[in-house]
Amino acid sequence: GVLQDYAEAVKWYRLAAEQGDQESQFLLGWNVNGIAEGNEQDYESVKWFEDFYKGLVALEAYDYATALEELLPLAEQGDARAQSFLGGMYALGTGVLQDYPEAVKWYRLAAEQGNVSAQVSLAFAFHSGAGVEQDYFAA
């Protein structure tokens, strides 16, 4: 192990966040917020939190193009919540062409990480045969 060093952690989170790693954006926001001692740091914390949640806010505002633009990189980085949301977008055809196999792909990735919403959606897909071969046992 190494000694705990918040300044060093923030340095590494910032490097990853500036390259688009959205989990690092969130963690940077959290860490800067936790050690903030002035307005400049508070502002930076809010900026990183905003970047992380921009996709979810866009989805709720029915701005599907922005939601897809923000959530896709996060999902590709392995974020189960983003994967589940993308599965829903493809299943319903919200902001993308409806594509059940693509929906199942994202639901499966999220479900394997324990995302309950994705597990339920994947079960419905197996039950109905949407995007997968119908399989009541797997459902």
Same domain assignment for residues 53 and 73: no
Q: Do residues 76 and 135 both lie within one domain?
A: yes
What's the half-sphere exposure (Cβ side, CA atoms, 13 Å) at 119? 6
Chain segment 49-80, per-residue pLDDT in tens:
665 577 777 877 788 888 888 888 888 888 88
How far from 116 is each of 56, 84, 85, 109, 123, CA to CA, in Å?
18, 9, 12, 12, 10
Structural domains of the chain, count: 2
Q: Mean pLDDT throughout 34-60?
A: 60
What CATH code is carried by the domain that includes residue 86? 1.25.40.10
Structural domain range at position 73: 67-139
Domain closes at, from 61, 78, 109: 61
**Shared-domain flag, residues 93 and 123:** yes
Q: What is the spatial distance between Cα 57 and Cα 68, in angstroms, rounded to a whole number?
A: 11
Total-model pTM: 0.62
User: Across 17-26, 73-82, 130-139, which has the greatest mean pLDDT?
Assistant: 73-82
Chain centroid to Cα 118, Å, comes to: 13
Proportion of the chain above pLDDT 90, given as a percent: 19
Domain termination site, one of 19, 43, 61:
61
**Same domain assignment for residues 82 and 137:** yes
Say if residue 13 is in the same domain as residue 75: no
pLDDT digits (tens, 9 = 90+) for 83-111: 998 999 999 998 899 999 999 999 999 99
Indicate if 75 and 30 belong to the same structural domain.
no
Residue 117 and residue 76 in one domain: yes
